[in-house]
Each structure stands twice: as C-alpha cells, then as structure tokens.
Amino acid sequence: MLTALHIAIVAPFIAAVFVPFLYKKLPKIHTGWFVLTIPAILFVYFLQYLPVTSSKQTVTAVWDWIPSLGIHFTAHVDGLGLLFALLITGIGMLVVLYSIYYLSKEREALNNFYTFLLMFMGAMLGVVLSDNLIVLYTFWEITSLSSFLLISYWYEREKSRYGALKSMLITVMGGFSMLVGFVMLYAMTGTFSIQEIIASAGDITSHDLFIPAMLTILLGAFTKSAQFPFHIWLPDAMEAPTPVSAYLHSATMVKAGIYLVARLSPVFAFSGEWMWIVAGFGIVTLFWGSFSAVQQTDLKGILAFSTVSQLGMILSMLGVGAAAIHFDSMDDNLYIGATTAAIFHLINHATFKGSLFMMAGIVDHETGTRDIRRLGGLMTVMPITFTIAVIGSFSMAGLPPFNGFLSKEMFFTAMVDITSFQAFNMDSFGVLFPVVAWVASIFTFIYSMMLVFKTFTGKMQPEKLDVKPHEAPFGMLLSPIILVSLVIVFGFFPNILAYTVIEPAMASILPSLLGEGEQFYVDIYFWHGWTIELYMTMGVIGIGTLLYLSLRKWVAVYDVFPSSLTLNHIYDQTVAGVEKVSSQLTGAYMTSSIRHYLLYIFSFFVVALVFVLFNKDAFSVDGATAPISVYEGVLAAVLVTTALVVMFTRSRLKAIIGLGVLGYTIALFFVIFRAPDLALTQLIIETVSVALFLLCFYHLPQISRKLENMRFRAGNFIVSLAVGLTVTLIGISANSSRLFESIAGFFPEASYDEAGGKNMVNVILVDFRGFDTLLEILVLAIAAAGIFTMIKLRLAGRNDL
C-alpha cells in the first residue's frame, strides 16, 4: 500500500500538475513562492529519518506495482539514500528561492519552468530512494526527459536546443545500457531488489554475466555523471537558466551516476575490474575537466568543466574505496578513508558549487555578461557577491579553512595510500593516481583563481558591459549566502556530519565491513602534521600561483590541439553522419505511395512468419474438419466474388459497395456462428464506414488515365498471394495444434462469476484486457491533446512549431 514515504517521492509530480493553474489564476504572485513549499516540506520530512539511519536502521515501504514480474515500488531509506534526498530537497529549496528573484514573472513562462523543475525533483527522489531496479530505471529516464526540458527552457535559442538534444542522446543511450545491466543482474540473482542483490553479491562474482552487467551499468553511470569521454554534454547544458545549472550540476542530475556507483559498490567492488575502471575513469576525468576549464572564458563554462573535474574526483575516491571490500575487517584499513572522503566531498561540492553557479548567475544578471574578458573590477560594486565567490572558489581550490580543503586532503591521502595496495597491480601502476591527482589539483587551483580575480579584481570595463553593474537584491543573495555559510561551518566543524550523515552513508556503501554493533569511526580535522598530503597542497598553491600569474604566456598550448580531433567535433560529425544516412535511407523507402508501404509490410510479414513457422516445425495439418453447411458455402462464394470485384473494378463507387458487401457478409458469418454481439458491432462499423466513404467520395480527386490503365503487376500479385497463403497456413496450424486446453469455456463462466458482467465481450474489453484498452484510450488522448495544442498555437499565430 502507498505510504507517506511513497507520497513524499511523488509529491513533486502531484504539485507539478497544479503549477499551470496557479500561474494562470494568480498572475500577480510569483509562482515560485508556491513551489518553494514543496522542497521545504520534503526537506523537513526527510530530516526525521536522521535518527533512524544514524542508528544503522533503515525504513522500507512496499507498494506492489507488477508483482507477477517482481516489480514493486519499494521505497528504501538508508544512510546513502537519505544523504541524497536531503541534498535534492535542501539544494532544491535554495534554488527555487533563488529563481524567484532571478526569473521575472513578466518575461518568463514560469509555469513551464517550475513544472519541469518539480518533475526533475520527483524523478531524482525516485532514483535515490527506489530499491527496485526497474523502478529506479523508470525514474532515471524521467530525469533525462525533465533535464532535457529544463535545458531547452529557452527553446528559441539554437544553443539551448542543441545542448538539450546532446544531453538527451548521451544520457538516454547510457540509460538503455544500464537497463541491459539491470536485466543481467536479474538473470544472475532472480530479483530486482537492490538489497537482495547486495545480499547475494558474493555468489555471482564468477557468473558469466557479472562483467558484462558491470560494464553496461557503469556506462549508464558515466554518461549521467559526465565522465570522460561522455562529459561533452555537460558544458552545452549551461544554456539552461542559471537556477537549473545550479540544481542539476551541483546536487542532482550529475550526482545520479555517482549515487549508482556508490549504491552498487557492494555488488561489484569484489572485482578488480570495478576498482580499475571506476578509479581510472574518475582520475582521467578529474584531470581533463580541470585542464579544460582553464581555457574557458565564460563563467558558467568554467564551472561546467569544474563540475566534470570534481565528479571525476568523487568517482576516483569511490573506486579507490572499493579496495576496502577486500579486507575482512576494518582494522588498520586505510582505504575506508577514500569512501569517507568521497561522501564528504559530495556534500562539500554541493555547497560550494551551488553557491558559485548562483554567483555566476548574479554577475550575468547584474552586468549582462558572463565573459571574464569583459568583466573585472566588480569587487567594489558587488562586495557580497565577491565574498561569495571568494569562499566558494577557495573551497573548490582546496584552501583552508574551508570544507573543500578537508576533503581535498583526504583525497590526497586516498591517492597516496592506494599505491601500497597489494592487489590488481596497484602497487606498480597505482603510482599514477597521486601524480595525476596532484597535477589536476594545480589546474583546479588556477581556474578557481580565475573565477575570483578575473571577475572581481583589476580595472572595471563599463563600456563592455550591457548594463551598469550593481549589487544584486538580497533575495537573490540569500541562497548563495546560506551555501557559503555551510562551506565555512562544515570547514570548522566537519564532525557535525560525521555520525549523522557520513557514517550512515558509509554503512550503505561498505556493509560487508560492519559486524553487529560496529561502526566506522569518522573523525575529520585540519591538522595531521607535516604529511605528504600537506606538502602536495603547498606544491599546488605554489606552482598554481606561478602558472596563474603567467597564464597569458602558456595558455596558447590549448591551440595545439586540432579542433577536428576534439570529442565535440567527433560527436557533431557522428550525429550529422547518422542524420545524412537516415535521411537517404528514409528517402529511399518513403515514396508517398501506400502501395509501396503495404508491399514492404506484407513482404516482411510473409518472410518472418513463414520462416518461424517452418523453422520451429510449427506447421501441422489435422485431417479432421468440421462439416460445412450450405449457408456457409454460399457466404464464402459471395466473399470471394466480392473481393475479386473490389480488386479489379475501375469504379470507386463499385469498390465502396463491394467493401460494404464484404463487411455485411462477415457479419452474417458471425450470426451463423452464434456471436450476435460481434455481428451487431460488425454491422454498425460497416454501416458507418460505407456512409463515410460515400460522404468523402465527392471530394476525392478524379482518377487519372494512367491509373485507369494500370497494368497487371506480377510482384504485387505474388506478395498478395503469399500473404493469403501465409494466413491460411497459420490458421490451419493453429486449428491443428492443441498445445493446451482451450480457454473457450473460461470466459463465459468467469465473465459473470468473477467480473460481474453478463456481456462477455464487454467484460473481455474492460476487465480481462483492461490495461490494453486503457493504454489505447491513453494513446488516443495524447494524440488528441497534441492535435488540439497545434491547432490552438496555429490559431494564436504561432508558426515556430
């Protein structure tokens, strides 16, 4: 049954239904104020689960969806799921508050924006709180759809449409791959429940499908979390409004892949392939994202590549943390720290990256540009925004005393420790991890300084700005102020998260390491002595400062890379090639001729069915036949004669009359076979069809001489004859093969006793095949809504369809 937990997940979807009505009925009030209540209530609701997860307990609520297939809407709250639920609702609340001041109710279609945003929020909650893989996948694809709508919110802009389509193609491709992996997991374990799969993880490591399932699932996670080389969609997604960027790329969409890797680590982390792939792709993404961010000139472009980099950092720590699974206990296990660092940095990234995106939006909103080449000197006119930028950027760069410094030091520790791991050749090739991590951190330092000093220091250039710069209103500043306040609080008091959030999440990722009554002892603090990690940080600051100051002298290195070899160019060429080939292929068979289309359909029909019929030895003939009465013989002769008349007549009127005779003759067959309901339905349909044909007859174009003199076509004759023979063979085989007892007697009995209906045909349509009928009605309703919308837009003078 549905519980409060289920309602909390679907609440954003329910609220999204009412947003257009509120927008229309209350135009003087910003719609965001109504929407703000949804994440606020949900955030408070999920806070009540903190004591539960802190005590290593979980909450599970089950609603049977398709029990025959093992698909249940099972909501499961543990430490990991609750962490993400709090991020989704907490950051979501601040983003909605920020959007109220960022988006004008006079100039923006707020009904669309908040509808899509609530859809996305509900989908993300479904992803992180679903225990059933199929339900998780359903919500996963809804995130792709709703993010597509959010990114293309300003659909009049070509770049918005391009970015939305790009994200859709890449993430949906990964989603399909992930679904294949889920099916493989079901084949190995016999269940879609994540918790049951984790419980049986040790029994499937040697299964032939184990590695394929791992690879296909990781492909879905990597595409969603913008891991190299699938990261190319994320920078183009910056065309969305800044509140969308702040939400999708700090706490929600891009974190979905991180969540999936963390959630399924107990299943796959026993494998060395998992450790190398996750950590390897993560560290490469970390470097490439930070390296690419330095060449950007758009504030949101820099933040986009920084998000790619930071996601790679988190993923690499989850991969390295998988080493902990290979130990029997937690004693002297340094690798647990990697998982701790991953969770801690997940939280830290949401705080400083959310504030930085909002800062970029404020700069754009108050100056008219995000181009750092046109900015500068804003520190004096926008002091609060400058302070937000300093705190967020310095935290992202890993500088004390902010929270990013703590998780970055823990990251360095994990990268150094993995070099001593005595498995999977980590003790030899693992030395690359701390080296790449250190180099990537230098570029992270550089682009973090660019965000602050290129924007707020130096000489102001008012002639290059679209509007006179000024500080943003307090309402727009409130959300980023709250986030940077958390950056400071979590920096000075990190252990307030230790046993309320971090440790319960670790228990979800590394459950095999905890015995009865055991816990992870999380203790985060600044000073660890003069360690190699501290020296690495000092090197990052020193070399990073030198490279930043000499940026103009070496930035030309980016011009060395030929544009024809970039991943974006390869993507564009691939999409263009696919479109060209598909256009040529479509043009070859889309001839606007119904005869050609029928020829294709019937040819495939004959080849496929005849092949299966004989390949599976399904063709059989039973000599026993029922007696044929005189009435049946006469009606059969009438059918054949009328069909020949329809085929060879040159008169439309005769063809219409012939079709009517065919329909009425079939109705007489139903009467003879004692099916009065079917006979009545057939008579009504034929009467209406003939009447409509005759009404439209006057408006049909005249038949040309060319059509009147059509020649006999052997190909068409062969295909039509083959179709008739195929259907005959199938009918004979079906009548001759009795694999099980006929259900003919079931419907008359069950229709009245179980369904409570006397009309068997109606009962079959409404009850026995109710879902089929419901979906048919749904399809017709969607088509009708689409047609109505297009007509309405056309009448309103909208031609951009």
The pLDDT of 245-255, averaged and rounded, is 86
**pLDDT grade for 323, boundaries at 50, 70 and 90:** confident
- 8 A C-beta contact, residue 263 and residue 80: yes
State yes or no: pLDDT of 625 exceeds 70: no
Q: Residue 801: what pLDDT? A: 46
Pick the closest to residue 368 from 465, 240, 471 (CA basis): 465
State yes or no: pLDDT of 698 exceeds 60: yes
Least confident of 243-252, 399-408, 425-434, 666-675: 425-434
- Choice between 33 and 714, residue whose per-residue pLDDT is larger: 33
* Euclidean distance between CA atoms 322 and 767, whole angstroms: 50
**pLDDT grade for 59, boundaries at 50, 70 and 90:** very high
* Euclidean distance between CA atoms 348 and 407, whole angstroms: 8
Q: What angle do helix axes 4-25 and 110-129 make, rounded to 10 degrees? A: 170
588, 660, 685 from 691: Cα distances, Å: 37, 10, 10
Q: Residue 328: what pLDDT? A: 46
- 8 A C-beta contact, residue 186 and residue 137: no
Q: Residue 701: what pLDDT? A: 67
- Choice between 97 and 598, residue whose per-residue pLDDT is larger: 97
Q: What percent of the chain has pLDDT over 70?
A: 94
**pLDDT grade for 337, boundaries at 50, 70 and 90:** confident
* Euclidean distance between CA atoms 379 and 454, whole angstroms: 11
pLDDT digits (tens, 9 = 90+) for 590-618: 888 888 888 889 999 899 988 888 887 77
pLDDT digits (tens, 9 = 90+) for 499-534: 899 999 998 988 877 666 677 888 888 887 888 999
Torsion of CA 193, 194, 198, 204, to 10 degrees: 70
- Choice between 727 and 735, residue whose per-residue pLDDT is larger: 727
Helix, strand, coil proportions of the chain in percent (round to 5)? 75, 0, 25
Q: Residue 693: what pLDDT? A: 82
Domain ranges, ordered by start, for the chain: 1-265, 269-549, 593-739, 744-801
CATH architecture, domain defined by 593-739: Up-down Bundle (1.20)
The pLDDT of 145-167, averaged and rounded, is 92
Pick the closest to residue 413 from 506, 497, 524 (CA basis): 524
Residue 541, beta-bridge partner list: none
State yes or no: pLDDT of 720 exceeds 70: yes
**pLDDT grade for 331, boundaries at 50, 70 and 90:** very low
pLDDT digits (tens, 9 = 90+) for 282-309: 999 999 999 999 999 999 999 999 999 9
User: pTM value?
Assistant: 0.82
**pLDDT grade for 330, boundaries at 50, 70 and 90:** very low
pLDDT digits (tens, 9 = 90+) for 455-471: 999 888 888 887 888 89
Average pLDDT along the chain? 88
Q: Residue 92: what pLDDT? A: 95
**pLDDT grade for 714, boundaries at 50, 70 and 90:** confident
Least confident of 41-50, 220-229, 417-426, 437-446: 417-426
**pLDDT grade for 334, boundaries at 50, 70 and 90:** low
**pLDDT grade for 329, boundaries at 50, 70 and 90:** very low
Q: Residue 176: what pLDDT? A: 95
